[in-house]
Chains A and B, each alone.
Chain A
Amino acid sequence: MIIVVGTAISLCSCENVKVDNGNLNSSVPVSENNANVDIGNSNSSVPVSENNTPSANNSTNKSYDFPQYFKFYESGYGMDTILVIDQNGNIIPKEKQFTVLYDILTGKPQCQYISKAEKTGEVNEFGGVTIKRTAALFDKDGNQISDYTDLNFSSGFGDLVLMRDGYGMEMSGQSDLPCGLWNYKTSKMVLEGVGNFQVYDAEKKQFIVSSLASQEGPEKIIGIVDETGTLISSPKGDMNYSLMNVVDGMILANTVTEYKDQSSAALVAKPEKTVVFSKDFEVLFEADRIWFGYNTLYGDYISVTNDNRSYICDYNFNICFEHAESENINYFDGEILIRFSRNSSTQESNMTLCDIKSNVLTTNFTEIRPIVDPNDNKTPAESFLAYDDKSIYILNRKGEVLKTKPLPNIEYCTYLGDGIISYRVNNIGEGMLDINLNTLVDHNKYTSVSFAYLEDGGKYETNYNVIKCTYNLPGNERIKRVELLDRSFKPIITGLSECYSTTKDFIAIKKGFSIGLIDYNGNWVHKYPIFSELKMEDSEWSVY
């Protein structure tokens, strides 16, 4: 079949091509002959979650609390941004690209800011152009509520946002410029000196705040504040503490000793001990090193190293399990654990599933991983995923093999949650299995398989209803293809050059020389040529 090329290369229009869906559906019939493609039958083939149900009658005028930005970038050249548009297809120039700040506790939008980068005309010591960055705060409706200054903003809580010199931090890791909790409704600084914070008690809306490291000294815990920024408690005495993290009401902090670095005459902070504080900053426990093993310790446990001994303690600081310092504990739930050791001379590694008395339940796997909800670090695993150089296995808590699937040369596998196991076979590709090791996505077909990004007002999250699969064109591996699968693992969109992000209404894609938004029926909603803003000459050499 020869299809005569159109009479023109359609590249010169940089305008938004807003396609009328009615015309489109009638003028572009969906292929019914392609067994691989199930476009146009959205009711049966597209994601079924209420949160991501594609709308056959998608509304481009749907209202959102804050703009939905779709960013299109050129991979391979340092991710240069080609174009940013909103959900209505309006091109958003750099100076109007808002970043929404979300309440760290509720996840709801607080306000938004615009960050500007302007060339100063000066050349820095490395011969590069000096750029001055400034930012200003705006309310939900886009009304400016602060001047452009060299301070930056990040999410806070309640009516407070964190204001600090983010750009200075990028360069030096230290900042002497003012920072603090700033009330964006009253335009007043509530608590100066705050550079970081973490949620202490979500229910009571309490937060632990600390300063930024500066030339005056290291980062220090300031104390616990309520939602208004009022200090409730703070560390006692003269000792400085840098905040590590907060888990279950316990505050983990390093004691910090400052000394002058003779070579640079700068103040250097040296961690000494790790302490666990109560809410009133009473020291509950102290050791050489303490950490909460997120995604390692399942239940109320902490890892401790002290006096050259390593052990796992419960929240009452009773020793539950002691192990060699050189040995990693990859999983512990109070009853069973996964031990990982590597022979330092042969570099051979081994994973062993043990009980708490160190009785070996099973061993000789390349890797053993718990099958647990990635967002749950309390509930013990009911089963485990394991693989060696020949097969992949499901084990029970006794170490017995429940399921086996021959799968040579596995490079890695992991449980993604929601009944899906992701795996990669060395030099071939990636695939997905269900919990019974049935193939959902074949690794022979795709080089990479992952859930798509869910764009939500600047928050990039995981869209568990859309699976993004990538493969290289046979015979020309420079050409990448992307196709999207629904949760029944059927292709819903194929033949893409790239999929950047998704929402419940749109998919941001690149196909050939076009970028833009399509709906879940595969029809263009907003379409632009890639050359509209493309960074043309990022490589060493030029293009014409």
Chain B
Amino acid sequence: MERVLNINIIMKIIIVFFSIIVFTACNTTQNTNNSDNPTSNAMQSEDNQGESSKIDGITAKNYPIVDGSTATMPLMAAAYSEIIGVPLEEAETFVEVSTTAPSWRNLLNYNVNLLIVYEAPETVKQEIKDSNVELEVTPLGRDGLVFLANTENKANNLTQDQIKDIYTGKITNWSSVGGNNEEIIPFQRDKESGSQTLFEKLLLKGTKPMDAPTELRPADMGALIDGVAYYDGSGGAIGYSVFYYAKEMYTKPNLKLLEVDGVAPSVETIGSGKYPLVNDFYVAIRKDEPADSPTRLLYNWLISKEGAELVKKTGYAPITK
């Protein structure tokens, strides 16, 4: 049986030629929509939302159960808000995720209807292959592996080879790569973390990184960003994360994103693939979803031109190349 997960077979490249609007998204949390009164009528929307929505066949009551990655939560909320027609803050209350790997399993186990999700770890990919469940998976947008440094650090650009050398212990001082005469403190992530998987897949490509002491291997993504931002107060730290999380979800004022091979990570450069370290994120459903099911209808909408517009509007990098 043909495995629909195989991206090469099922991938439907969505090319969007709309002008790209950069949404900085900072400092806009207050005084938008009805968001300053958190107790606005959520119950009313649950109970009384009309049977109509932006998509015929989808209503608030039959809206599919959506799961996925933490970094795609804003997109899930934006989709609900757009389709059902409720304020964004209210739409956010309809979003819960189990995170990347568990969400893939939830889809396999019929616990959820649709994923907006990052790539599954290799072990989960094997579980999908071994299962009897066929999936339809389509890229929705793109994210990048980004490298973070303290704003005090004079180095702004690293080549992929330099980063490899830093993480294999060949380069140990920032002065070798355009920075201050200062020891490089390279943070890594847990070996099973998604960022580490991306780091090894996109950058190291088989090269073994040096062992990192535990204090330089934070358990979570936020802790890594904190670590790089504040380590020793010296500004000598370097670490990595994914663009959307570092740029939109967990920003620190004394951190900057480094250019890689002379390309700064941005929505545009990641979407176009000009930034060298990119990976897609996806919408996924089970292949046996009927053509008229709300899940299939939502899937079709997300991979449509309107869905691509929403991806852009929400601040994610669309796939433009």
Contact = CB atoms under 8 A, between A and B. Distances in A.
A124 B167 CA distance: 25
Contacts of B28: 6, 8, 10, 13
Contact of B31 (A23, A479, A514): A23
Nearest to A483: B43
Contacts of A324: none
Given A31-B41, A541-B102, A544-B71, A476 B65 contact: yes
Secondary structure dominating the interface of A? loop
A17 B30 contact: yes
A509 B99 contact: no
A524 to B, nearest CB: 5
A93 to B, nearest CB: 10
Contacts of B90: 495, 512
Contacts of A491: 43
Interface in A515-544: 518, 522-524, 527, 529, 531-544
A537 B96 contact: no
Interface in A107-145: 119, 121, 123, 129
Contacts of A532: 250
Contacts of B89: 511-514
A25 to B, nearest CB: 9
Contacts of B77: 9, 512-513
Interface stretch (A33-41, A164-172, A371-379, A421-429): A33-41
Interface of A: 1-15, 17, 19, 23-24, 27-28, 30-31, 33-34, 36-37, 39, 119, 121, 123, 129, 473-476, 478-481, 483, 491, 493-497, 509, 511-514, 518, 522-524, 527, 529, 531-544
Contacts, number: 264
Chain B interface size band reads 35 or more
Contacts of B245: 536, 544
B69 interface: yes
Given A13-B29, A512-B90, A7 B73 contact: no
B198 A544 contact: yes
A494 B215 CA distance: 43
B38 A495 contact: yes
Contact of A513 (B26, B47, B73, B214): B73
Interface in B83-130: 85-102, 112, 118, 121, 124
A536 B250 CA distance: 11
Contacts of A24: 31, 36-37
Contacts of B30: 17, 19, 524, 527
A475 B62 contact: yes
A12 B25 contact: yes
A33 B45 CA distance: 12
B39 A536 contact: no
A535 B37 contact: no
B201 to A, nearest CB: 12
Nearest to B79: A5
